[in-house]
Amino acid sequence: MARIAAGLPQDQLGVKAGLDEGTASARISRYESGIHEPNMAFAQRLASELNVPVAYFYAPDDDLAKLILWFGQLNLKQRKSLVECASKLSQVQ
């Protein structure tokens, strides 16, 4: 989980992303547990604070979330290389 990797408690992340101090922890907890989903603007603020691609929050499983994080850390040349490799792998039957 990106928040934990960043070493931020729920309340601090929420406040950094613009939530009221009194509700920040509860709101972040609801987002993390899937009870509520943040709107796109707030998801973008969270992604910015955590330095992750916003798509990370919408990955349906942990493996895809990891790939999104790793992809976001690559430079343009590395991304192109990875996409080419993935294209070749997807053609293997």
Task: Give the mean model confidence (pLDDT) for residues 21-42.
Answer: 95
**pLDDT > 70 in the chain, percent:** 99
Distance (Å, rounded) from C-alpha 25 to C-alpha 13?
Answer: 8
Per-residue pLDDT band at 93 (split at 50, 70, 90): low
Q: What is the pLDDT of residue 19?
A: 96
User: In what helix (H) or strand (E) does residue 1 lie, and over which residues does it extend?
Assistant: none
Per-residue pLDDT band at 1 (split at 50, 70, 90): confident
Per-residue pLDDT band at 92 (split at 50, 70, 90): confident
15's tokens:
């406040």
Instruction: For each of the domains in the chain, give its residue range(s) and CATH number, in order of start.
Output: 2-91 (1.10.260.40)
